């Protein structure tokens, strides 16, 4: 199955997080035919496919995911999001860029590489999650990574196929990510009639100064590798639906994307100090989604840059922006983690797409990375 055909087959599967929904059944025979040993590991409501080739040398792992976010209104798409149609030399569908085409490109690259190098000097793993996009309570790959590490199976090089590119495939490499700390704040006031202001305490009025203070904080200045820590509010909910009732509660969802210059503990402490100025009582549920990680100048970076020079005739820009990825679970074990994948312009959007030329280019880049890894390991 070609990269295009495999990508189309995967996109046609409606694998909304945390459900793989059958993608692994399509991928597994492709890998088995190449000599990979494949196992599927259940974790709560999710599943991970782990395929291994070889048993000597450093472990090179391609990390990806088969789950996608919902399509949004189907009627707004120019082509059905789960039909994987090619229109004007572009493959359109949910997951085309994030990241089913990337998975297909790597498997095609494996076929090309192993056809000319049947016994590489390193081990090759393919690890695919079904819940990269979804919530932690449905299961993440960190449990598997920790289990492998406990068995002394440590990933050396981890290539994450996320959509890292900006204008052309391979123009940007993501070598790190900021941490992510989320919170669910409940402000507790006192409900009552709007005509009796001395007998009520409005959490809506109280949250205004809190938000103003939070916006005014400079959490840190970042450093040479990371942008400063940022704070955003994603949702505020309050009210009874009646115009003559002051509500007694307000809920606010918020998130920090933090650099290594701040810890999640220090952010919690400073956030609470601001809340304590309010007349309202409060409760907070915290979720640490990810800690910052960074892969500096390493063998893997040199390998990938060398491959890009040969395929693209130039090296990539080094970056650590964007959201979180499953690379956050692999980095703590000591792996060198770098993200390289399709152009991210349309990810999570209506008419998500990848051009056929980009799919071919990504396949050639992945193949050259395998070639360079083999040369480096000899």
pLDDT at site 205: 97
pLDDT at site 334: 87
Residues of the chain with pLDDT under 70: 378
- Which CATH fold topology does 179-285 show? Alpha-Beta Plaits (3.30.70)
Q: Is 67 a catalytic residue?
A: yes
Which of the residues 132, 156, 336, 339 is marked catalytic?
A: 132
pLDDT at site 291: 87
| Chain region(s) in the chain for CATH 3.30.70.360 | 179-285
Contacts of 148 (CB under 8 A, 6+ apart): 154, 155
Contacts of 316 (CB under 8 A, 6+ apart): 170, 171, 172, 173, 304, 305, 308, 340
pLDDT at site 179: 92
Q: Is 132 a catalytic residue?
A: yes
Count of other CB atoms within 10 angstroms of residue 232: 10
Whole-angstrom distance, CA of residue 336 vs CA of residue 60: 10
pLDDT at site 324: 75
Which of the residues 30, 43, 47, 67 is marked catalytic?
A: 67
Whole-angstrom distance, CA of residue 338 vs CA of residue 325: 11
Quote the pTM value.
0.86
CATH number of 3-177+292-377: 3.40.630.10
Whole-angstrom distance, CA of residue 296 vs CA of residue 299: 10
| Chain region(s) in the chain for CATH 3.40.630.10 | 3-177+292-377
């Amino acid at each position: 199955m070609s990269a295009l055909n495999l990508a189309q087959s995967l996109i046609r599967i409606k694998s909304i997080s945390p459900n793989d929904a059958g993608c692994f059944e399509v991928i597994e025979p492709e890998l088995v035919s190449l000599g990979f040993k494949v196992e599927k590991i259940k974790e709560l409501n999710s599943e991970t496919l782990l395929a291994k080739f070889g048993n000597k040398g450093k472990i090179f792992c391609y990390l990806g995911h088969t789950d996608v976010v919902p399509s949004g209104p189907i009627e707004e798409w120019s082509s059905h999001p789960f039909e994987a149609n090619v229109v004007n030399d572009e493959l359109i569908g949910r997951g085309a860029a994030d990241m089913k085409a990337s998975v297909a490109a790597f498997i095609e690259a494996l076929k090309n590489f192993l056809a000319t190098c049947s016994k590489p000097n390193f081990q090759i793993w393919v690890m695919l999650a079904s819940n990269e996009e979804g919530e932690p309570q449905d299961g993440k790959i960190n449990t598997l990574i920790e289990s492998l590490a406990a068995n002394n199976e440590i990933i050396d090089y981890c290539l994450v196929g996320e959509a890292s590119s900006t204008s052309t495939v391979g123009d940007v490499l993501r070598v790190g990510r900021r941490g992510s700390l989320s919170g669910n704040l409940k402000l507790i006031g006192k409900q009552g009639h709007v005509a009796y202001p001395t007998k009520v305490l409005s959490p809506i009025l109280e949250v205004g100064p809190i938000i103003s203070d939070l916006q005014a904080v400079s959490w840190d200045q970042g450093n040479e590798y990371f942008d400063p820590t940022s704070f955003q509010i994603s949702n505020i909910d309050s009210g009874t639906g009646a115009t003559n009732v002051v509500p007694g509660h307000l809920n606010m969802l918020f998130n920090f994307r933090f650099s290594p210059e701040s810890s999640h503990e220090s952010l919690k402490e400073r956030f609470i100090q601001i809340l304590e100025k309010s007349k309202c009582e409060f409760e907070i549920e915290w979720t640490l989604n990810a800690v910052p990680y960074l892969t500096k100048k390493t063998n893997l970076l040199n390998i990938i840059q060398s491959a890009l020079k040969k395929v693209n005739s130039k090296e990539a820009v080094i970056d650590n922006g964007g959201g979180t990825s499953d690379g956050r679970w692999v980095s703590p074990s000591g792996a060198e983690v770098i993200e390289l994948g399709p152009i991210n312009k349309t990810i999570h959007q209506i008419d998500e797409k990848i051009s056929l030329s980009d799919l071919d280019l990504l396949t050639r880049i992945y193949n050259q990375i395998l070639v360079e890894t083999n040369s480096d390991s000899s």
